[in-house]
Amino acid sequence: MIVESQRWLSSVSLGRMIMQLLQRLPFTGLVVAALLSGGCDRAVQHEPKETAFRIVATDAGFEAPDAIPIGLRHIIFENHGSEIHEAMLVKLPAAMSAADFQAEVRRGVLFPKGILDYSGPGLMSPGEMVEMWLRVDPGEYVLICWNHSRSEPVHAFSVRSPLVEDAPPRADVVLKLIDYRFEFEGKLHKGEQVIRVETLGPSMHEADLFRLHPGKTVADIRRWRKEHLPVAPVDALGGPLDSHDIGRVVWLRKNFTTGRYVLHCAVPITTTPETTAQETTHADLGMVQEFEITE
């Protein structure tokens, strides 16, 4: 015991001497940081890294990286265009190139054979931004805006090692997607809120998130989508799109103002390769819900 405490004391006074010496030198902070980190390599390796997957939509397509790490990604989606855009992640089967996928979509196919939807930020108005956290597996992917699937190019990207886990934020509310309805656990407030989105299914679902313009209703949303009207009755906020693997959880972070909002699921009732955009959607079966943020 005595030997141990002597060693501790001498190490303390040695440390103090080093500190006094360093305080007279420039770049002290850097040197101290280097000395302190010397003994804790493991801790340094586990520090979170900046791995945000930034996706910018323009009216000509996407600006995004060509490769991202495997694991839980923090997506930052910004719309710099003048139209409503979305950014769905789609994983391609081994034999399909991004050009093959694009060609099928241009023929009107919504679910080319073998592709897997991996969610992503849905319809979002110009000038808006949303953050999302979702998991990606190794492979070849495309980003596609289904609002302009024939006129705009997809963006091809790879998901490859290393494995990096971005930490999801703590959720304020949970949103459950069920055939054919939405259920909230908790209440949304104005300001920055995190929604943890779970799909209970059994079908896959999406949750378009719209803020109604004054005087507009759910019926106006329906007409706007069905008749492809040029002027939206809402601000579209980038709610989460569907995943083929419904066990996947997605987190969404968004700054909310007070107002009337609508959740809306536009997934078609059939998801075979022959499905077309004219198909009956979950919204047609009642998967539309209005709610209000009052405080």
The footprint of Cu ion (CB under 5 A) covers 205, 265, 267, 282, 287
Q: Shortest gap between Cβ of 173 and Cu ion (angstroms)?
A: 19
Q: Give whichever of 74 and 264 is closer to Cu ion, judged by the CB atom.
A: 264
**Chain mean position to CA 41:** 31
DSSP 63-124: E--SEEEEEEEEEEEEE-SSS-B--EEEEPPTT--HHHHHHHHHTT-SS-TT-EEB--B--B
Handedness of CA 279, 250, 255, 63 (dihedral sign): negative
Question: Smallest distance from the beta carbon of 197 to Cu ion, in angstroms?
Answer: 12
Q: Cα separation of 81 and 233, whole Å?
A: 18
- Residue 222 structure tokens: 């329906």
The least distance separating Cu ion from the CB of residue 38, rounded to whole angstroms, comes to 54
CA distance linking residue 97 with residue 25, whole number of Å:
58
Pick the closer one to Cu ion by CB: 76 or 246.
246
Q: How far is the CB of 239 from Cu ion (least distance, A)?
A: 12
- Our CB check for Cu ion shows the closer of 57 and 288 to be 288
Q: Give φ, ψ of 119 to 5 degrees.
A: 60, -155
Nearer to Cu ion, 108 or 201 (CB): 201
Q: Could you tell me which residues come within 8 angstroms of residue 175 by beta carbon, excluding any fewer than 6 positions away?
A: 182, 183, 184, 185, 195, 196, 197, 198, 207, 263
| HEC secondary structure over 107-146 | CCCCCCCCCEEECCECCECCCCEEEEEEEECCEEEEEECH
Judged by CB, which is closer to Cu ion: 112, or 122? 122
CB of 122 to Cu ion, least distance (A): 12
57 or 287, CB closer to Cu ion? 287
> At closest approach, how far in Å is the CB of 79 from Cu ion?
23
